[in-house]
């Protein structure tokens, strides 16, 4: 039989990203927006992890006057307690990222599990799970976070949980849709008819197809989680013993940084939050785009083929 | 679940009935409108023996695919009996069915979709072994995989083991799918339109492969709409219309001496290769009615060219007809 | 000598990444007279669909085209989209592969035909509706169905509707790309009969593109067999079956099961060559059972063997040399 392996003669529709593993890596490699977002996130994460080592000053040490102006030794000035802003920001990013990642992890686990279960089993399971999802979707997040934080008491752990249980709904919907479509693919049905257990089918056949989308969704969720944390901290509901970027802004705000004109106490942390969210959005958005079926130019739509002068390979026959 | 020594037929289906409820909206449910059913299979009986290739032919909507799925217990029958190797499997639970799944395998129509794009050929053919915990060690399993690939003529197997589906042609993919099915050593293969999505020049190879597997002792039930393929490769043909078998018998008998008017019409419109052999086509008007509203009496009577008054009343059973052994037709005018 | 449609030396290239090209159609020539049915036969990847899309100028920006397409003597390809556009649908119409599934699901079938008529300025309002009714009748759809939606039609009727739409502007040439592939054999027979009567009653010239040889044998007078982007044999279908002059034609027929034929169909080993790489020698030689020394070295040209018959195979030269 044939040794020729390539599907010949057909128009080679290049979709190499799909057929190989590592769609995440490929996307980052190919799209500048994704690469940029990934780079920024990596940098910030590095700064956060190495804060204890890299921070120029001590976090609790007053090195100058309240709202000291930016200078060479303190490029971003001092905050309301005379603490170096750069140090504050590095430690702040740490907490913000930790909360962001942790809350996202919680939401991913909940949302992913519910999405897979609803999409895979369908029927009653699907209906019930989706009703639950709908209820959670309808709850307004910030008011709920305020109430829970107020009742339960502000602590990092509570914040993470609260954010987590509000964010999982969109993940669940997206994953459910994808799982539903993968479930119908012939090779999945084949595995079932071969006698593969549900576990095997889900882990070996369904999840690998769903994983890239889950990753994209996760990255986007991180952006929202960080925003939520910042908002909560700014409203004074964050953990008072931890400095997150939101807390930095809140402190400055409370201590009248604006009327004092100490922009360096408010703008940099706000800008940093914005940068983190932007980076996540770029990366996540690029991944999502890469996973959408490419809209191909249909030959029925565009009629702009080119003409070439007749090259002689003439046949002798009309 | 008793296993016989192969004396009786491999699979025996008796009066199989499968119905689907037609999906209806909330309003219809609330207003308690009568639930309509798609009568996909309405009393089908046939057998497939070892070393026999039976073709189930018919047009779309006739119930042939549903019949195949019911045999493999992928859909639940409403009534009827399915016996595999002498043992009744109609009502078995999924756990009891598991060992049986080894012995009955399904080959799908679409070679481009039936393989997981993320699994290599080796992994795809090995997976059934892993699912059923066969082939003790890794080397043993590898040997079985190699053997299965050789058997489907993907030789030498080493060339194909580490390939991925997108690197293979349609015919090769279908062979890999068949290899994954036979690696378990099944007794029955159900092939649902195994070649309809392949190029013509490649089809014969896959069909000849199925033929060789049949010679090795497998029983094969082939679902197809292509009468020419059935005529060339099947031992027996059963023609289905709206959920019933209207004619069955030895392939050559059914094709050369059709008894049922539907079979005759169907055969007359199959295009021939030889332009000189255009037979007079008996083109039936319209299309088969949907399986929700089955006509009364003989289900074919609205389109039948030789229908008479009685045909509206009497629902004919399969009776012996024609000269071949076991040739039967369901028509009162035969 | 100007027939209704004359295609000469049609070539199509597609741009691939990294500066490579796919030479999808490598010099196709044929002609069509009014009322004539020509079958363009080949398997997937042979270039038959690309050929007819090139004929109608329906290729994407990544395509480049060479050759001539003469309609009543005038080369309509010469000016690209400008020269083709006035003739598209008006003189040359096409029923695409899967057209029956491409009907707009939210518009009634009648309104879609009316839209086509109005777009091409052939009729408006009441006249358009009248003409639509006539068109549907001519393809066997009762006029009462004019205001139904596509999902209310069966597969066969949707295909008839697609044919009616293609015929809306009274073209003289109809191209049908795999018109019956997705249909049951009985419905296929109905559609083939419809195409047959349209050719006979209206003098329509039909270019039938398909992989199904028996369908071509059923409906067409002549056929051109395509392989690897070129026509390898061309002639009356009868001659193609009984006296093929190219091994691919012979083997393709042999691979097709026949209802009453004798013998077992056999596959053709191997696979068609890649069209994104330059070809040396005959594109079929690796799979041919009669290949000899000359075949891998020299590419055979499509040569006229006798009136109305041509083939691209060195074996025909051997015979000629002997004589």
Confidence of residue A114 (pLDDT cuts 50, 70, 90): very high
A contact chains, 3+ CB pairs < 8 A:
B, C
CA dist., res. A103 & res. A158, Å (int)? 10
CB within 8 Å: C31 and A318: yes
Q: Which has more confidence, A208 or B94? A: A208
Q: Is the pLDDT of residue A164 over 50?
A: yes
- pLDDT given for residue B266 in this prediction: 94
Confidence of residue A23 (pLDDT cuts 50, 70, 90): low
CB within 8 Å: A307 and C64: yes
- pLDDT given for residue A99 in this prediction: 87
- pLDDT given for residue C218 in this prediction: 92
CA dist., res. B227 & res. A79, Å (int)? 85
Taking any CB pair shorter than 8 Å as contact, residues of chain B touching chain C are 59-60, 169, 171, 199-208, 225-229, 231-233, 255-256, 265-267, 269-278, 281, 283-284, 287
CA dist., res. C40 & res. C57, Å (int)? 18
Confidence of residue A24 (pLDDT cuts 50, 70, 90): low
Distance between C65 CA and the closest CA of chain B, angstroms = 27
Q: Is the bond leading into B156 cis (omega within 30 degrees of zero)? A: yes
- pLDDT given for residue C319 in this prediction: 59
Please state, as a whole number, how many other Cβ atoms lie within 10 Å of the Cβ of residue A21.
Answer: 11
CB within 8 Å: B166 and A1: no
Exposed, middle or buried, C263 (CB in 10 Å: 0-12/13-18/19+)?
A: exposed
Confidence of residue A14 (pLDDT cuts 50, 70, 90): very low
In a domain, C206, yes or no: yes
CB within 8 Å: A194 and B127: yes
- pLDDT given for residue B83 in this prediction: 93
In the block, which residue shows the tokens 């109609």?
B90
Confidence of residue A265 (pLDDT cuts 50, 70, 90): confident
Question: What's the pLDDT tens digit per position in B209-264?
Answer: 999 999 999 999 999 999 999 999 999 999 999 999 999 999 999 999 999 999 99
Task: Report the residue from A14, A305, A314 with minimal CB separation from C59.
Answer: A305
Q: Which of A182, A187, A202 to mutate to test the interface with B (most CBs of B within 10 A)?
A: A187
- pLDDT given for residue A172 in this prediction: 93
The whole-number average pLDDT for the span A149-171 is 83
Confidence of residue A313 (pLDDT cuts 50, 70, 90): very low
Q: Which has more confidence, B155 or B243? A: B243
Average confidence score pLDDT of chain B: 90
- pLDDT given for residue B220 in this prediction: 96
Q: Which of C51, C58, C76, C103 to mutate to test the interface with A (most CBs of A within 10 A)?
A: C58
| CATH code, C77 | 3.40.50.300
Task: With beta carbons less than 8 A apart as the criterion, state whether B196 and B225 touch.
Answer: yes
Residue A186, chain B, CB below 8 Å: the answer is yes
- pLDDT given for residue B7 in this prediction: 64
- Cβ-count burial A41-55 (b if 16+ within 10 Å, e if not): beebeebbeebeeeb
The whole-number average pLDDT for the span A296-304 is 51
CA dist., res. B233 & res. B107, Å (int)? 17
The whole-number average pLDDT for the span A261-273 is 85
The whole-number average pLDDT for the span A40-45 is 87
CA dist., res. A98 & res. A238, Å (int)? 13
Closest chain A residue to B156, measured at CA: A3
CB within 8 Å: B169 and A4: yes
Could you say which residues from 272 to 311 on chain A have a Cβ atom under 8 Å away from some Cβ of chain C?
297-300, 302-311
- pLDDT given for residue B91 in this prediction: 85
Q: Is the pLDDT of residue A142 over 80?
A: no
Q: Is the pLDDT of residue B165 over 80?
A: yes
Distance between B248 CA and the closest CA of chain A, angstroms = 28
Indicate the domain borders of chain B: 235-334
Q: Is the pLDDT of residue B30 over 80?
A: no
- pLDDT given for residue A295 in this prediction: 46
Asked whether the CA dihedral A146, A148, A151, A153 is positive or negative, the reply is negative
Residue B65, chain A, CB below 8 Å: the answer is no
Q: Which of C187, C173, C182, C149 is nearest to C34 (CA)?
A: C173
Q: Which of C10, C20, C36, C35 is nearest to C226 (CA)?
A: C10
- pLDDT given for residue C2 in this prediction: 57
Q: Which domains does chain A have, with CATH numbers?
A: 23-61+74-291 (1.10.3720.10)
pLDDT above 90 coverage of chain A, percent? 16
Q: Is the pLDDT of residue A90 over 90?
A: no
CA dist., res. A216 & res. A121, Å (int)? 24
- pLDDT given for residue A297 in this prediction: 44
Could you say which residues from 111 to 150 on chain C have a Cβ atom under 8 Å away from some Cβ of chain B?
none
- pLDDT given for residue C320 in this prediction: 55
Query: In A, which residues are within 8 Å of C8 by CB distance?
Result: 318
Query: In C, which residues are within 8 Å of A298 by CB distance?
Result: 60
Residue A288 CA, chain-centre distance (Å), reads 10
- pLDDT given for residue B118 in this prediction: 87
Please state the ipTM of this predicted complex: 0.89
- pLDDT given for residue A126 in this prediction: 93
Domain that holds residue C62: 5-91+171-322
CA dist., res. B262 & res. B244, Å (int)? 12
CA dist., res. A205 & res. B132, Å (int)? 17
Please state, as a whole number, how many other Cβ atoms lie within 10 Å of the Cβ of residue C183.
Answer: 24
Range of lowest pLDDT (A50-64, A244-258, B35-49): A50-64
CA dist., res. A284 & res. A280, Å (int)? 6
- pLDDT given for residue B127 in this prediction: 93
Q: Which has more confidence, A77 or A17? A: A77
- pLDDT given for residue A299 in this prediction: 46
H or E stretch at B320: strand B319-320
How many residues appear in chain C? Answer: 323
**Number of structural domains in chain C:** 1
Query: In A, which residues are within 8 Å of B102 by CB distance?
Result: 195
Q: Vertex C81, ends C79 and C85: CA angle to 5°? A: 110
Please state, as a whole number, how many other Cβ atoms lie within 10 Å of the Cβ of residue A282.
Answer: 22
CA distances in angstroms from C100 to A300, B210, C195, C214, listed in the order given: 15, 34, 15, 22
Exposed, middle or buried, C49 (CB in 10 Å: 0-12/13-18/19+)?
A: buried
DSSP string computed for A180-210? HHHHTSHHHHHHHHHT--HHHIIIIIIHHHH
Q: Is the pLDDT of residue A7 over 70?
A: no
Pairing type for strands B328-329 and C63-71 reads unpaired
Q: Which of B196, B199, B286 to mutate to test the interface with C (most CBs of C within 10 A)?
A: B199
Most confident of A68-72, B116-120, C230-234: C230-234
Average confidence score pLDDT of chain A: 78
Q: Is the pLDDT of residue B52 over 80?
A: yes
Residue A19, chain B, CB below 8 Å: the answer is yes
Closest chain C residue to A3, measured at CA: C270
- pLDDT given for residue A10 in this prediction: 29
Confidence of residue A309 (pLDDT cuts 50, 70, 90): low
CA dist., res. A74 & res. A94, Å (int)? 20
CB within 8 Å: A195 and B102: yes
Q: Is the pLDDT of residue A177 over 60?
A: yes
Q: Which has more confidence, B334 or C288? A: C288
- pLDDT given for residue A81 in this prediction: 76
Q: Is the pLDDT of residue A5 over 60?
A: no
Distance between C144 CA and the closest CA of chain A, angstroms = 31
All residues at 6 or more sequence positions from C180 whose CB lies less than 8 Å from its CB, including other chains:
C159, C187, C188, C191, C192, C210, C212, C215
Q: Which residues of chain C have pLDDT under 70?
A: 1-2, 319-323
Q: Is the pLDDT of residue B2 over 50?
A: no
């Amino acid at each position: 039989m044939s040794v020729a392996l390539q599907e010949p003669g057909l128009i080679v529709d290049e979709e190499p990203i799909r057929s190989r593993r590592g769609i995440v890596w490929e996307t980052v490699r190919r799209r500048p927006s994704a690469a940029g977002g990934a780079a920024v996130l990596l940098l910030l994460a590095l700064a956060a992890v190495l804060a204890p080592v890299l921070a120029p000053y001590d976090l609790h040490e007053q090195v100058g006057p309240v709202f000291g102006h930016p200078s060479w030794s303190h490029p971003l000035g001092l905050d309301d307690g005379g603490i170096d802003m750069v140090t504050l920001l590095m430690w702040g990013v740490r907490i913000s990222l930790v909360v962001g990642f942790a809350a996202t992890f919680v939401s991913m686990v909940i949302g992913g599990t519910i999405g897979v279960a609803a999409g895979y089993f369908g029927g009653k399971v699907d209906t019930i799970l989706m009703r639950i999802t709908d209820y959670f979707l309808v709850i307004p997040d910030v008011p709920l976070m305020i109430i829970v934080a107020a009742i339960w008491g502000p602590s990092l752990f509570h914040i993470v949980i609260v954010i987590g249980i509000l964010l999982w709904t969109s993940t669940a919907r997206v994953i459910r849709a994808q799982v539903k479509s993968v479930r119908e693919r012939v090779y999945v049905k084949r595995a079932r008819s071969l006698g593969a257990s549900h576990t095997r089918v889900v882990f070996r056949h369904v999840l690998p197809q769903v994983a890239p989308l889950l990753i994209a969704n996760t990255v986007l969720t991180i952006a929202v989680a960080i925003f939520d944390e910042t908002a909560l901290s700014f409203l004074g509901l964050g953990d008072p013993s931890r400095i997150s970027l939101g807390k930095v802004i809140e402190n400055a705000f409370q201590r009248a940084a604006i009327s004092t004109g100490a922009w360096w106490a408010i703008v940099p942390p706000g800008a940093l939050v914005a940068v983190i969210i932007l980076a996540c959005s770029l990366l996540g958005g690029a991944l999502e785009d890469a996973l959408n079926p490419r809209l191909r130019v249909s030959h029925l739509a565009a009629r702009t083929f080119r003409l070439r002068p007749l090259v002689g390979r003439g046949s002798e026959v009309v | 679940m008793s296993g016989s020594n192969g004396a009786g037929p491999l699979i025996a289906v008796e009066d199989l009935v499968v119905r689907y409820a037609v999906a209806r909206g909330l309003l219809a449910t609330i207003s308690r409108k009568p639930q309509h059913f798609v009568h996909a299979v309405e009393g089908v009986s046939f057998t497939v023996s070892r070393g026999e290739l039976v073709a189930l032919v018919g047009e779309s909507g006739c119930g042939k695919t549903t019949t195949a799925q019911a045999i493999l217990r992928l859909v639940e029958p409403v009534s009827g009996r399915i016996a595999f190797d002498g043992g009744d499997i109609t009502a078995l639970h999924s756990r009891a069915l598991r060992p049986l799944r080894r012995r009955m395998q399904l080959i799908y129509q679409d070679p481009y979709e039936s393989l997981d794009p993320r699994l290599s050929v080796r992994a795809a053919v090995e997976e059934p072994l892993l699912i059923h915990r066969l082939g003790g060690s890794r080397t043993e399993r590898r040997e079985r995989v190699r053997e299965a690939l050789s058997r489907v003529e993907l030789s030498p197997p080493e060339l194909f083991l580490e390939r991925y589906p997108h690197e293979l042609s349609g015919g090769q993919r279908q062979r890999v799918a068949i290899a994954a099915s036979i690696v378990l050593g099944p007794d029955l293969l159900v092939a649902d339109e195994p070649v309809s999505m392949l190029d013509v020049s490649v089809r014969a190879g896959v069909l000849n492969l199925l033929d060789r597997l049949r010679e090795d002792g497998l029983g094969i039930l082939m679902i197809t709409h292509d009468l020419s393929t059935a005529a060339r490769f099947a031992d027996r043909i059963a023609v289905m219309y709206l959920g019933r078998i209207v004619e069955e018998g030895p392939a050559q008998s059914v094709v050369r001496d059709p008894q049922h008017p539907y079979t005759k019409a169907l055969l007359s419109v199959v295009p021939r290769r030889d332009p000189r052999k255009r037979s007079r086509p008996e083109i039936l008007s319209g299309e088969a009615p949907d399986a929700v509203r089955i006509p009364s009496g003989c289900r074919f009577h609205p389109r039948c060219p030789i229908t008479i008054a009685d045909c509206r009343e009497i629902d004919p059973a399969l009776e012996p007809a024609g000269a071949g052994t076991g040739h039967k037709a369901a028509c009162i005018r035969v | 000598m100007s027939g209704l449609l004359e295609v000469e030396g049609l070539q199509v290239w597609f741009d691939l990444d990294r500066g490579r090209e796919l030479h999808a159609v490598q010099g196709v020539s044929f002609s069509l007279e009014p009322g004539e049915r020509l079958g363009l036969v080949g398997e997937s990847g042979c270039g038959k669909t690309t050929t007819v899309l090139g004929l109608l100028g329906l290729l994407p920006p990544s395509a480049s085209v060479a050759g001539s397409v003469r309609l009543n003597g005038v080369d309509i390809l010469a000016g690209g989209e400008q020269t083709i556009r006035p003739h598209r649908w008006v003189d040359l119409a096409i029923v695409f592969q899967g057209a029956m599934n491409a009907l707009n699901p939210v518009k009634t079938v009648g309104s879609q035909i009316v839209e086509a008529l109005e777009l091409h300025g052939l009729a408006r309002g009441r006249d358009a509706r009248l003409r639509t009714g006539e068109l549907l009748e001519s393809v066997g759809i009762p006029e009462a169905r004019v205001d139904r939606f596509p999902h209310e039609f069966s597969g066969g009727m949707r295909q008839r509707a697609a044919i009616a739409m293609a015929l809306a502007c009274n073209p003289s040439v109809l191209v049908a790309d795999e018109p019956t592939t997705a249909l049951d054999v009985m419905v296929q027979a109905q559609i083939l009969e419809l195409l047959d009567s349209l050719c006979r009653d209206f003098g329509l010239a039909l270019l039938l593109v398909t992989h199904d040889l028996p369908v071509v044998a059923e409906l067409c007078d002549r056929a051109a067999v395509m392989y690897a982007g070129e026509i390898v044999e061309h002639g009356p279908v009868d001659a193609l079956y009984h006296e093929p002059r190219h091994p691919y034609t012979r083997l393709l027929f042999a691979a097709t099961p026949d209802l009453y034929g004798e013998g077992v169909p056999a596959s053709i080993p191997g696979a068609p060559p890649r069209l994104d790489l330059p070809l040396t020698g005959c594109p079929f030689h690796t799979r041919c059972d009669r290949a000899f020394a000359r075949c891998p070295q020299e590419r055979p040209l499509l040569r006229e063997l006798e009136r109305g018959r041509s083939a691209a195979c060195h074996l025909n030269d051997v015979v000629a040399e002997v004589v």
